[in-house]
Structure 1
Amino acid sequence: MIPWPYPEHNHRPEDSPPSEEDLRLAALVSQRISIDWSTRRQQISVTVQNAVVILTGVVNDPDTRTTAGELAWDVPGVFDVCNALTLRGRGRGRR
């Protein structure tokens, strides 16, 4: 039998601080995005949770969106990439 927690003791995973490995991966992905000529001047935020990279922000074109995702995938240790980048002036981009 598993006890049901009281609401005031509700612990959600998103409240936990990121692990050292997630911080390392976020730094490496951010570095790759910031030095690539096609992505360095774009509004891209990088977060990592459980080795899953989440890219958010706004980019100028679909090629830049694709490149950012590929750069994230190229970092050793990345388990998955959620490319939630949107295209400037077009609303939400394709997934």
Structure 2
Amino acid sequence: MMNIYEFQNTMEQTVKVVEAIWNGTITFSNKGEGDVVCHIGEYWFYFYNGKLFPDTLTSENLRENVGIFELAEMIINAIDDLDDDEYTYYWDILRS
């Protein structure tokens, strides 16, 4: 079970990501063979592999087809899986 501090951190991260999507700090594009990537700052990372809606989901219609909180969770999970330097880079931008 998640304690109150973990819950608070998760909620704060979710709010920061949602705000960044709304204000354009986070953008999306397609790299490679249709994989949607997330851009934050000067860099990007893979966070969506196209398996959910492989024929219909693109970077242009991602926000229309995936709920904002589900999208935020996908991005947070991807950032959590990055190495320490990348993790710090992206969260520094999102928290500023």
* TM-score, length-scaled by structure 1: 0.30
Q: Which has the higher strand share?
A: 1
* TM-score, length-scaled by structure 2: 0.30
Q: Which has the higher helix share?
A: 2
- Larger C-alpha radius of gyration, 1 or 2? 1
